[in-house]
Amino acid sequence: MPSEPITAANGTIPRSLPVLRASRIAKRYGGVTALAEGELELAPGEVHVLIGANGSGKSTLCKIIAGATGPDSGVVELDGAPRHFKAPRDAAAVGISVCYQELSLIPQLSVAQNIFLGREKVVARTFVNSRKLNDDAARLMERFQGVAGENFFPNTLVSDLSADQQQLVEILKTAAEDGRIVIFDEPTSSLDNRQVELFFGLVREMKSAGKAIVFISHRMRELFEIGDRMTVMRNGRTVGTFDAADATEGQIIGMMIGNDIVSSAQSPQEKSPQARSAKTVLQADNLTGRTLNGVSLDLAEGEILGLGGLHGQGQSALLRSLFGADPAADGIIKIDGKVVKVSGPRAAMALGLAYVSGDRGRDGTLSHRPVFENLALARLNKSHATYIDVAAVSDQVLPVAERLKLKYAGLGSPISQLSGGNQQKVVLGRWLAAEPRILLLDDPTKGIDLQTKKDLYALLAELCLGGMSILFYSSDDTELLSVSDRVLVFADGQVVDELAGERLTEFELNQAAFASSASAEATA
C-alpha cells in the first residue's frame, strides 16, 4: 500500500501511560456487526479525535466505553485494570462522562437543575437549595456569555431553549460532572463559530487539568484545530492512530474509506449522458426549516439525483418537506417551472410526487392488512373512487407486484407474513401503482437483502428510462454512488457540494461531507 503513509503499526507512542485502553472490542446487533475490532487508547491531558464515515462504529465504541452497552468481546482497561461496566452509572462512578449526540436533557427542568441533575446538594435528604444551584450554574454559564443568545439563564426551562443553547447546557452538564475521561460525541454540530471557540477554550482547560478527552466531529477543520491525536475507524475497525500534526485531510479520508475502495471506484461512465434530458421537472429554491438551512436543487426528467453526506444532515427532511409530510417553513418549490404549494401529502400526490420511506414500520406498512390494500391504498386515494371494484383494482396492481418480483401467497394475505424485503417492495409498489412522475426515496433499502436491492436498482434505472425522475437518499454510500447520476452532498442542512461524472467516488463524497462543513459555517 504505497499511498498510505500512516498505519496503526507506526502510530506514535502516547506521551504517558494510558488512562484507558479499549482493545479488540466487538459488538453485534442482531445480524449487523457494528464493531468488529475497535481499539482506542487515551492518555491523560490529550484531546483524542475519533473519526470515521457513516456506520464505522465510532458511536458504538463510545457507548461501550461509557457502559451504555456491553461488548460481545474485548476488554476495556482503566489504569491497566480490566473493567466491566454494567450500566452508565458504573462508568460515571470511575470518572467517565459523556456528552451525547442525542441530547440527554430533561425538557421540563431548568438549566441549573439539568446541569446538576443527580448531584444536587440535598438538605435533610429532601430539599434542594435552588438559590445555590442557580448561583453555581450561573458561574458555569458565564463562559458562554454573549454568544449564547437570549433567555439563557439558570432558571430557564430547557424546553424553552433553542437547539444550540440546549447543546451548550449539555456541554456544561458534562463539564460539571468533572470526569477524568470525557467523551464529546458531535457536540459542535448545532453550534456557531463563536460558540465553538469558547467550547474549545473549555476543552483546553480540561486538557491542562490532565483529563483525557475524546472528541467526535465531522468538521475536519475542528478536528485539526483541537485534536492532539487521531484514531480513524472504518467498517467497525480501528485502522490507525497517529499524531494530528503528522496527518493531512486527504490521508485521513483515504484511511476512512480504505484504499481498496478508492482503486475500485465506480465507473460512472456506464451511465449514458443521454439518459438525462434537459427538461427540469422539479426545482427547489432555498428551502428552509427546522433542519434545512436553505436547500436548492433541480431535478431533470429521467434523472436519479442522489442525496449524500453523513446521517441526518437534512436529506430526509428535504424529501419530507417536498412531499408535504413536514412542510418547510420557507422556500419555493416549482414543478415544470410553475410555483406550487405542497401543503400535505395529498397535495403532493396530486402533483405527481411519491414518497417511499425506509422506515416501513413507521411510515409504510399497514401491518395486518392484506397485500391488496397495502398496494392499492395510494392509487385509490388519488383516484377519488367511492366503491372499490376489487377485480378491476387487482388487475391494476398485479402487474406492479409482478414487476417488483414480489414473493407473496396472494393479494389477500396480510403484509406482515411477507419478508422485510418483500414488505418494502409492497410499499414501493403502492407508489408505483399510483403512477407518479417524481419519486422521492428516503433510504429505501435500509435493512433489506442483497437480491432485493439489486432488483430495486434495475427497476430504478428502468423507471428513469420511462421518464420518471428520482430523488434518492441512501445511507449506503456505495449504493448511492452507483445508482445516482449526480450526488448532492449535505452537511448541516445545506448542500455543500455536487458530485457528477468522475467525481462520483467515495473519496470525493467523504471529503465533501467532512471537509466542507467549514465553508458551510462561513456562510452561516
Partner 1 sequence: MTLDTAISGRSNAVKKWAPAVGVVRKPLFIAGVAMMGILVAGEIVAPGFAAPEQIIKMLVVAALLGIVAAGQNLVILGGKEGIDLSVGATITLGALIAGNVMQGQDSMIAIALIATLAVTFGVGLLNGIGVTVLRIPPLVMTLGMLGVLHGSLILLTRGRPSGNSAEMLSNLVDDPLIFGLPGILIVWIGLGILVTLLLRRTLFGMRIYAIGTNETAARLSGVPVGITRTLLFGLSGMFAGLAGFFILGFTGNVFLGVGDQYMLPSIIAVVFGGTSLAGGRGGYVGTMAGAVVLTLLQSLLTTLHIDPSGRQIIFGATLLLLMLFYGRQQRLRS
- Between 338 and 368, CB nearer to partner 1: 368
- Between 245 and 390, CB nearer to partner 1: 390
- Between 271 and 379, CB nearer to partner 1: 379
- Between 205 and 359, CB nearer to partner 1: 359
- Between 131 and 369, CB nearer to partner 1: 369
Helix pair 420-433, 450-465: axis angle to 10 deg: 10
Residues that bind partner 1 (CB under 8 A): 323, 325, 344-346, 349, 355, 357, 362-369, 373, 376-378, 380-382, 384-388, 390, 430
Round to whole Å and give the CA distance between 333 and 319: 12
Q: How far is the CB of 373 from partner 1 (least distance, A)?
A: 6
Round to whole Å and give the CA distance between 414 and 422: 12
Q: How far is the CB of 230 from partner 1 (least distance, A)?
A: 41
Q: How far is the CB of 409 from partner 1 (least distance, A)?
A: 17
Closest CA to 52 of 65, 68, 35, 66: 35
- Between 182 and 371, CB nearer to partner 1: 371
Q: How far is the CB of 369 from partner 1 (least distance, A)?
A: 6
Round to whole Å and give the CA distance between 210 and 480: 43
**Plot region of 326 (φ>0 → left; ψ -120 to 50 → alpha; else → beta):** beta
Q: How far is the CB of 362 from partner 1 (least distance, A)?
A: 6
Q: How far is the CB of 364 from partner 1 (least distance, A)?
A: 5
* C-alpha cell of residue 169: 447546557
- Between 212 and 349, CB nearer to partner 1: 349
Any idea what the Cα angle at residue 522 is, between residues 517 and 524, rounded to 5°? 90
User: Measured between alpha carbons, how far is residue 352 from residues 282, 303, 332, 443, 508 in Å?
Assistant: 11, 16, 17, 20, 33
Any idea what the Cα angle at residue 313 is, between residues 308 and 318, rounded to 5°? 80
- Between 332 and 347, CB nearer to partner 1: 347
Give the CA count within 13 Å in the CB-facing half-sphere of 230.
Answer: 29
Going by their DSSP bridges, the two strands 212-216 and 486-491 should be labelled as unpaired
- Who's near 14: CB < 8 A, 6+ residues apart? 41, 43, 46, 229
Q: How far is the CB of 5 from partner 1 (least distance, A)?
A: 49
Helix (H, G, I), strand (E, B) or coil at 491: strand
CA pseudo-torsion sign 451, 456, 458, 459: positive
CB 282 within 8 A of CB 335: yes
Q: How far is the CB of 222 from partner 1 (least distance, A)?
A: 37
Round to whole Å and give the CA distance between 281 and 297: 11
- Between 376 and 468, CB nearer to partner 1: 376
Q: How far is the CB of 337 from partner 1 (least distance, A)?
A: 25
- Between 199 and 323, CB nearer to partner 1: 323
Q: Which amino acid is at 58?
A: K
Q: How far is the CB of 406 from partner 1 (least distance, A)?
A: 18
CB 114 within 8 A of CB 169: yes
DSSP track, 102-113? S----TTSBHHH
